[in-house]
């Protein structure tokens, strides 16, 4: 119960990786506030949780700055502070860059990068006042090494990695840890809507562990970075990919 009494925001907790993170952190005693555009899915996550902590759900549209402000204000009004933030929400649409609609680029940037930046800026004052806090951004190995058919998506995730490292330097004086987790191919609803069976099998063959990642694999990495055993870890990029990508 090392996260008991911690107030942690998890965006994208309605399904997939975000859901697994929310449930795991709450299971270790945290009070988790899910922010998601899919409020029905987020509420279902909250309702199905059973454990020592607690899970709440509030509507959040990361592409809408006013929604981000409203969400953060509601969290502060209800809980009085924020101890941890996991920016897990994001989306992707696979396709050749040359055929991308520029509107897709704008939405990818708005949700995957600017949404996380806006929410982070709004919750930081609470952490700075406490001289403590943990922020974990969920990027992607696409942002580290590139990914065919995901060029714009990879750009947003690469930006999130750079944002994480720079913010970690700024926030170190306040004892706030800022890190990033980069999942590889992970068996989520989003992945299953984008990947053909042929691609799925090809990825499994390429991954040294010979399986896709599970949302719980990523959640375990986030749990480490949110807990006390990572207090001296900041500005780091942790790949959770079964060995698919290795950078020296």
| Catalytic sites, residue numbers | 153
As a whole number of angstroms, the distance between CA 137 and CA 50 comes to: 25
DSSP designation for 47: H
Using alpha carbons only, how large is the chain's radius of gyration in Å?
A: 17
The C-alpha angle with vertex 188 and arms to 192 and 139, in degrees rounded to 5, equals 115
Q: Enter the tokens of residue 94.
A: 């696979």
Tokens of 155: 């750009």
Strand-pairing partners, residue 9, are 33, 85
**Largest interatomic CA distance in the chain:** 51
Collect all residues with Cβ–Cβ distance below 8 Å to 78 and sequence separation of at least 6.
33, 56
Q: Are 175 and 131 spatial neighbours (Cβ–Cβ below 8 Å)?
A: yes
**CB within 8 Å of 193: residues ≥ 6 apart:** none
Q: Are 157 and 143 in contact (CB under 8 A)?
A: yes
CA distance 89 to 138: 8
Integer Cα distance of 86 and 93 in angstroms: 22
């Amino acid at each position: 119960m090392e996260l008991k009494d911690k107030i942690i925001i998890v965006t994208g907790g309605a399904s997939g990786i975000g859901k697994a993170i929310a449930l795991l952190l709450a299971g270790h005693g945290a009070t988790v506030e899910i922010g998601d555009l899919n409020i029905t899915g987020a509420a279902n996550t909250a309702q199905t949780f059973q454990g020592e902590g607690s899970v709440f759900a509030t509507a959040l549209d990361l592409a809408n700055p006013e929604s981000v402000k409203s969400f953060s204000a509601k969290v502060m009004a209800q809980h009085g502070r924020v101890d941890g933030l996991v920016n897990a929400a994001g989306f992707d649409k696979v396709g050749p860059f040359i055929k991308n609609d520029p509107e897709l680029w704008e939405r990818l940037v708005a949700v995957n990068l600017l949404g996380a930046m806006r929410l982070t800026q709004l919750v930081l004052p609470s952490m700075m006042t406490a001289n403590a806090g943990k922020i974990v951004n969920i990027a992607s190995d696409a942002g580290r090494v590139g990914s065919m058919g995901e060029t714009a998506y990879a750009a947003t995730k690469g930006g999130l990695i750079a944002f994480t490292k720079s913010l970690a330097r700024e926030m170190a004086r306040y004892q706030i840890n800022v890190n990033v987790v980069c999942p590889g191919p992970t068996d989520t609803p989003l992945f299953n809507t984008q990947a053909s069976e042929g691609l799925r099998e090809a990825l499994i063959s390429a991954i040294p562990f010979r399986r896709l990642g599970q949302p719980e694999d990523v959640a375990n990495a986030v749990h480490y970075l949110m807990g006390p055993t990572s207090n001296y870890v900041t500005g780091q990029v942790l790949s959770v990919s079964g060995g698919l990508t290795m950078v020296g």
